[in-house]
Structure 1
Amino acid sequence: MEGVEHRIVKVNGINMHVAEKGQGPVILFVHGFPELWYSWRHQISALSSKGYRAVAPDLRGYGGTDAPDSVTCYTCFHIVGDL
């Protein structure tokens, strides 16, 4: 997708893929299960063109983000803590 910057950030012991575009106040897009940042591509494009910074991470275990082996690493506390 044109103009979207991709980066990896270290958070809570994992590498998290984040897609972002635009400048201004941040809008955080959180995908559902089992989806990816790409689910928000149309909203990212539209809102970044309106002066917002659209940020869409891949949650742990999805897309370009690390997938820890243990099921205990996927509690709501881990997922929210990553954000």
Structure 2
Amino acid sequence: MAIQEYEKRRPVEVEINGKKYVGSYRVMAGSVIAYFDGEIRSAPHDIQRPEVVARWLLSDSCKKVEAIKRNRSNR
């Protein structure tokens, strides 16, 4: 696989509590970098497929963003 193709951003989608979230990710030097709503998360993908790690990272980012939104609305 060419380096340009390997580092290309790809879409990733997760569903949490019936709501779909879409972000993107790319793979660089054995790490997955996920992007969602201004959040950037990264983790090594070691033995897991990069897509699996990207979904984990996206889920984490979505939960954080939703918690921040809830806290703002409760003020």
Q: Tell me the TM-score normalized by structure 2.
A: 0.34
Answer with 1 or 2: which has the greater Rg: 2
Select the structure with the greater relative contact order (CA < 8 A; seq sep ≥ 6).
Answer: 1
Which structure shows the bigger proportion of residues in helix conformation?
2
Q: Which has the higher strand share?
A: 2
Query: What TM-score do you get using the length of structure 1 for normalisation?
Result: 0.32
